[in-house]
Amino acid sequence: MNIPRLIIADESSPGIVPSALTLCQAMKSMGMRINVFCSARSEEDIRLLKLLTDGPVYNLDLYTFHSARNLKTHFQRTADPRGLNLILVPLGVKIDEKTFQAQPEPLELARVLDCGIVPVIASTASAIVTSNMAITALASLEAGDRNYVQGLLFASAKNPREFQLMEQDYNRRTSTLSLGYIPKEIERPRPFLNDLTPSSAPSRIFQIRSASLQLANAKRQVEWKILEALSFFNESWTPPEALGYSARNLAIAVVGDGINVEGDSNIDAFQALGCNIHRYNPWEENFPRGADALYFPHSMIRYTPEKLLENDDFRAGILQSVAANKLILVNGASALLFGQTCIAPDGRKLEGLGVFPFHGRFAERRAGGGHQKIEIRGINDTNFSKANEKMRGYVLSDLHISNPGNLAVPSWSYRDIRKDAELGTSGWIKNSCFVTELRLELWSCLNTLNRWLLLCKR
């Protein structure tokens, strides 16, 4: 069995659309069959990728998936054996002209997925300095057991002559293949998340697609055929051990997937357990009262909370579902809608759904978001998770729940495992409705999810 796969690890450039996203869209515009994965990417990047590719974007993270087996299982389930499976990962950042701080994700994923890496180095200084930085970045990706780097691209080159100077110096010092360059004129400003709402996104996406098409049509800039061929130069895929769960055959309504910014990996966790997915658009469809369970992915609902809270059919459907003990799992931003009140980013105070006694507030969001990997532990037994059961995910800096008097008793505590520091509590339950403002990675707790689905009353 073979799965064509390749990691594109690009250097971060503040305020600019990441090079990996531009490359991915250019390859798609050339007619290549592209399947997209990402790791350690911001919500802006995930949203942008979903809009550019018009398809799913899967999030891969070895820490939040809890095990290499879970990550490999998810990758195998969602990869396209007839297409090019690109894993887009930040490479790292320059500290100064002599120091490059590499991210751990490219090498971690290369080892787990047994595939090659193509770094993309930004030309932000002289040709010699950029060449030095490329060599430093390559050294950061060295592994004792194997060299995973299969080639290298330069980005932000001002003109062909600058690229030639960089490439000449680079080729004198390493045998790693140079695959060309991305001109600086291709770069576009990186949109903020509020620029990527359904009403604002089309104009932004058009600009980026146009730039990617320009790159795809340029002569002698990127070695596209070699780049595509590198995805086939991997060892044969070794399937992981089967999960062993019985198919649940439940109908799961995914609420607001059109503004999803967590990616599609949690949805695949439901599918891995045998569930059938209905992507429910609450702005255009009637409430899915026939669904066995509801799942709210982390989304950009912060920009239009009133469109749900003032939707009578949606409000009635949620309250009836809670009263009927229907399974409801709310992940991330949508949790704030389930309290007594919800304060929008512009300060407006909206009436919440009133399921829980807490109050939600969308804080000002800084560029890139601000999410931190965490370990979650159950404080007490609930019908979703059990005491001392461990899960993983992210805490999001722009989502706040106020719980005066602790009237809503939290079910979880969470901590920064690297610093061994407790960070807070979360997780509230009423009947079979469980909400958290954390971004829970369901692949880290498949046993928990499977046990919860067994509670479904059909």
E-assigned strands of 333-406? 341-343, 349-351, 359-362, 371-378, 390-396, 399-402
Go through the chain and tell me how many residues it has: 458
Q: Mean per-residue pLDDT for 51-74?
A: 94
CA distance 156 to 94: 14
For residues 82 and 204, membership in a common domain is answered with yes
The torsion angles phi and psi of 295, rounded to 5 degrees, stand at -130, 125
Is residue 270 within 8 Å of residue 253, measured between CB atoms?
Answer: no
Is residue 19 within 8 Å of residue 123, measured between CB atoms?
Answer: no
Question: Is residue 241 domain-resident?
Answer: no
Whether residue 457 is predicted with pLDDT greater than 70 in this model: the reply is: no
Whether residue 275 is predicted with pLDDT greater than 80 in this model: the reply is: yes
H helix or E strand, kind and range, residue 450: helix 446-453
Instruction: Supply the Cα-derived Rg of the chain in whole angstroms.
Output: 23
Q: Which pLDDT belongs to residue 400?
A: 92
Q: How confident is the model at residue 219 (pLDDT cuts 50, 70, 90)?
A: confident
Q: Which pLDDT belongs to residue 430?
A: 94
Q: Which pLDDT belongs to residue 355?
A: 95
Question: Is residue 152 domain-resident?
Answer: yes
- Is pLDDT larger for residue 12 or for residue 257? 257
Whether residue 19 is predicted with pLDDT greater than 80 in this model: the reply is: yes
For residues 173 and 280, membership in a common domain is answered with no
Q: How confident is the model at residue 367 (pLDDT cuts 50, 70, 90)?
A: low
Share of the chain above pLDDT 70, in %: 97
Question: Is residue 458 domain-resident?
Answer: no
Question: Is residue 237 domain-resident?
Answer: no
Encoded amino acid at 239, one letter = P
CATH code, domain carrying 407: 3.40.50.880
Neighbours of 372 (CB within 10 A): 13
Q: Which pLDDT belongs to residue 75?
A: 96
Q: How confident is the model at residue 142 (pLDDT cuts 50, 70, 90)?
A: confident
Distances (CA, A) of 186 to 22, 88, 155, 159, 160: 9, 19, 9, 11, 13
Q: Mean per-residue pLDDT for 252-277?
A: 95
Q: Which pLDDT belongs to residue 423?
A: 93
For residues 287 and 405, membership in a common domain is answered with yes
For residues 333 and 196, membership in a common domain is answered with no
Q: Which pLDDT belongs to residue 369?
A: 59
Query: Among residues 309, 288, 304, 305, which one has the least CA distance to residue 355?
Result: 309
CA distance 34 to 36: 6
Q: Which pLDDT belongs to residue 405?
A: 60
Whether residue 26 is predicted with pLDDT greater than 70 in this model: the reply is: yes
Which contacts (CB < 8 Å, 24+ apart) does range 144-148 have?
148/7, 148/107, 148/110, 148/111, 148/115, 148/116, 148/117
Query: Among residues 120, 115, 111, which one has the least CA distance to residue 13?
Result: 120
Q: Which pLDDT belongs to residue 37?
A: 97
- The residues pairing with 395 across neighbouring beta strands, listed in sequence order, are 372
For residues 364 and 426, membership in a common domain is answered with yes
Distances (CA, A) of 144 to 114, 139, 429: 14, 11, 48
- Is pLDDT larger for residue 6 or for residue 199? 6
Q: Read off the pTM.
A: 0.93
H helix or E strand, kind and range, residue 427: none
Q: Which pLDDT belongs to residue 334?
A: 94
- Show the domain range for 121: 5-230
Least-confidence region, from 24-28, 124-128, 258-262: 124-128
For residues 149 and 186, membership in a common domain is answered with yes
The torsion angles phi and psi of 36, rounded to 5 degrees, stand at -110, 130
Is residue 339 within 8 Å of residue 309, measured between CB atoms?
Answer: no
Whether residue 190 is predicted with pLDDT greater than 70 in this model: the reply is: yes
Question: Is residue 64 domain-resident?
Answer: yes
Q: Tens of pLDDT along 380-427?
A: 999 999 999 999 999 998 899 987 666 678 999 999 988 888 999 999
CA distance 189 to 102: 24
Q: Tens of pLDDT along 296-337?
A: 999 999 998 998 999 999 999 999 999 999 999 999 999 999
Query: Tokens for 22?
Result: 């531009």
- The residues pairing with 295 across neighbouring beta strands, listed in sequence order, are 254, 329
Return left, alpha or beta for 167; rule: phi > 0 is left, psi -120 to 50 is alpha, else beta: alpha
At how many degrees (to 10) do helices 265-272 and 446-453 cross?
Answer: 60
Q: Which pLDDT belongs to residue 326?
A: 95
For residues 306 and 382, membership in a common domain is answered with yes
Distances (CA, A) of 134 to 117, 139, 387: 14, 9, 48
Whether residue 130 is predicted with pLDDT greater than 70 in this model: the reply is: yes
User: How many structural domains compose the chain?
Assistant: 2
Return left, alpha or beta for 147; rule: phi > 0 is left, psi -120 to 50 is alpha, else beta: beta
Q: Mean per-residue pLDDT for 236-241?
A: 84
For residues 263 and 189, membership in a common domain is answered with no
Question: Is residue 239 domain-resident?
Answer: no
Quote the mean pLDDT of the chain.
90
For residues 146 and 32, membership in a common domain is answered with yes
Whether residue 368 is predicted with pLDDT greater than 70 in this model: the reply is: no
Query: Tokens for 55?
Result: 């398809």
CA distance 245 to 19: 39
Whether residue 77 is predicted with pLDDT greater than 90 in this model: the reply is: yes
For residues 273 and 190, membership in a common domain is answered with no
Q: Which pLDDT belongs to residue 109?
A: 95
CA distance 133 to 201: 35
For residues 202 and 275, membership in a common domain is answered with no
CATH code, domain carrying 52: 3.40.50
Is residue 34 within 8 Å of residue 28, measured between CB atoms?
Answer: yes
The torsion angles phi and psi of 166, rounded to 5 degrees, stand at -65, -45
Q: Which pLDDT belongs to residue 144?
A: 63
Tell which of 230, 259, 283 closes a domain: 230
Question: Is residue 433 domain-resident?
Answer: yes
Question: Is residue 236 domain-resident?
Answer: no
Whether residue 166 is predicted with pLDDT greater than 90 in this model: the reply is: no
Least-confidence region, from 1-15, 42-56, 231-245: 231-245
Whether residue 370 is predicted with pLDDT greater than 70 in this model: the reply is: no
For residues 121 and 170, membership in a common domain is answered with yes
Least-confidence region, from 89-93, 340-344, 402-406, 436-440: 402-406
